[in-house]
Amino acid sequence: MNPQDIAKAVDHRLGFAEDLFDAAAARTRDGDGITRACWSTEDQAVAEIFAEAARSLDLEVVFDRVGNVYATLPGRDRSAPGILSGSHLDSVPRGGNFDGYAGAVAGLTALAAFRDLGIAPPCDLTATGIRGEESVWYGTAYLGSRMAVGALPHDELDRLKRGDTGRSLGEHMAELGFDPDALKVEAEPHISPKTTKAFLELHIEQGPILIGEGIPVGIPMGIKGNARWPYGRCVGAYDHAAAVPRDYRRDAVLATVELIGAVEALWHEMEAEGIPNLVFTAGKLFTNPEEHAMTKIPGECDFALNFGATDTAVLDRARARIPELAAEIAARRKVVFDLGELVGTDPTPLDETLRTDLGKSAESLGIPAKVMATVGHDASIFQRAGIPSAMVLVRNEHGSHNAQEAMEMADFGLGVRVLAATMLARA
């Protein structure tokens, strides 16, 4: 298929996509933003909007046992593994309309364009709207995609409670008419390498890079992992601020600040070596309000360290080096560091062949695309389930997880062109 024909067909369906965005926003508006809790009447309404639009295109619509929705343009060989494209329908409280939902709309817009072009693909092409990606509701992310690939332990359905209602995931699912118990009996997952040969997810960029560099589309090489110490603590000694000379002090705040500075220096040192995609955040830093005072040397300081990278070896280096830095500072400043439990996830490299295909599609369509890293998305779950997965990021202003997300429809159109061309090339 000529790339210009795909471009024209996608552009012709941008009004269809805009209607889908408007309908979902109107139904789930909450103050300035939108709120779609996972497995609520709101994300259900958006799933129905998606399903209704798919039926209007005469696509096959199914909901799986847990409420993920799929719209399929049937292939000539129905038994061949197909291509899946989509993203999540839920949002954070008072978030933006594009985080997640843009990917579901993108998949459907591509299928609408294929319908208009009269394409009968060799294998099934499916757009999906996935439930439960945001961790804010149940304290854990990717619930819908993990259930789709059979990667969520069954006891999580009872164990996970929604923060604001206190009721279990299974209860909320059952209330909407889905069958969480079906997951408890051994069953074939709805999505597996047998059913699906590629997963492609379009998502807005949630950082400032594409806007900053004036590039409409990004193609991530992988999803960042992280090494995190959520409950770090430094203990020194409370003492008189004016009476104690420097050599006698055991100042927990100055020791912690030195550690944070040393980790920042490690970050810069790694960047100077040419290691890309590093981030470091000390998102929590506080003294004990029941003890602290301007006239006291602080004896306690609590903090969190969060180091991110796209390379496991780089994260291993940070995991090893940061405790060494803490030990060296503790000995010199006569304090004790307890970094607490080390948590985090490994990076997920995305499928190299698919990424190359996305790059070739962008090039043939004349669309500038930047190779970059991205944050956690459903694509990592499909990739880890053995389904080759890749992503298209679309330029978006004002960040994400807020009401000010701003994606231009023209940029969305460019992203969908790349997505659609790659779906066809892969089919």
Residues that bind Zn ion (CB under 5 A): 99-100
Residue 100 CB, nearest distance to Zn ion (Å)? 4
- Give the span between the Cα atoms of 108 and 72, in whole angstroms: 9
Tracing tokens 């389904």 back to the chain, one arrives at: 387
Q: Under a CB-based contact definition with an 8 Å cutoff, are residues 128 and 64 in contact?
A: no
Torsions phi, psi of 416, nearest 5? -70, -35
Q: Give, in order, the Cα–Cα distances in Å from 68 to each of 65, 104, 149, 210.
A: 8, 11, 11, 30
| Placement of tokens 């996970």 in the chain | 160
C-alpha closest to that of 26 among 36, 15, 16, 11: 36
Q: For residues 100 and 298, which CB has a smaller minimum distance to Zn ion in the complex?
A: 100
Q: How far is the CB of 107 from Zn ion (least distance, A)?
A: 14
Query: What is the smallest separation between the CB atom of 41 and Zn ion, expressed in angstroms?
Result: 20
Given a contact cutoff of 8 angstroms between Cβ atoms, the answer to whether 417 and 6 are in contact is yes
Name residue, tokens 């043939």: 364
Q: Which is nearer to Zn ion, 72 or 87 (CB)?
A: 87
Tokens of 322: 């940061």
Residue with tokens 């830095």: 325
Partners of 270 in beta bridges: none
Please spell the DSSP secondary structure of 395-421, one letter per residue.
Answer: --BT-SSSTT-B--HHHHHHHHHHHHH
Q: How far is CA 372 from the centre of its chain?
A: 14
Choice between 210 and 282, CB closer to Zn ion: 210
Q: How far apart are CA 346 and CA 72, in angstroms?
A: 33
Please list, in sequence order, all residues whose beta carbon lies within 8 angstroms of the beta carbon of residue 251, skipping any fewer than 6 positions away.
Answer: 236, 297, 298, 333, 335
Q: What residues contact residue 320 under an 8 Å CB cut-off, 6+ apart? A: none
Query: C-beta of 328: minimal distance to Zn ion in Å?
Result: 39
Distance (Å, rounded) from C-alpha 87 to C-alpha 202? 7
> Which residue, 25, 75, 67, 199, is CA-closest to 127?
199
| CB nearer Zn ion, residue 87 or residue 361 | 87
Tell the smallest beta-carbon distance from residue 206 to Zn ion (Å). 7
CA distance linking residue 172 with residue 156, whole number of Å:
13
Q: Position 221: which residue type?
A: M
* CB closer to Zn ion out of 100 and 232: 100
> 156 or 201, CB closer to Zn ion?
201
Q: Which residue is nearest to Zn ion (CB)?
A: 100
Looking at the Cβ atoms of 97 and 277, the one nearer to Zn ion is: 97
Q: How far is the CB of 88 from Zn ion (least distance, A)?
A: 6
Task: Report yes or no: 136 and 38 within 8 Å, Cβ to Cβ.
Answer: no
Distance CA 400, CA 332 (A): 42
In the bound complex, what is the minimum distance in angstroms from residue 148's beta carbon to Zn ion? Answer: 16
Nearer of residues 63 and 101 to Zn ion, judged by Cβ: 101
Closest separation in Å from C-beta 203 to Zn ion: 6
Closer to Zn ion by Cβ: residue 128 or 168:
128
Q: Shortest distance, CB of residue 99 to Zn ion, whole angstroms?
A: 4
Q: How far is the CB of 133 from Zn ion (least distance, A)?
A: 6
Cβ proximity to Zn ion: between 223 and 254 the closer is: 223
Least distance (Å) between residue 162 CB and Zn ion: 18
DSSP labels for 164-183? TT--BHHHHHHHTT--GGGG
Q: Which is closer to Zn ion, CB of 91 or CB of 310?
A: 91
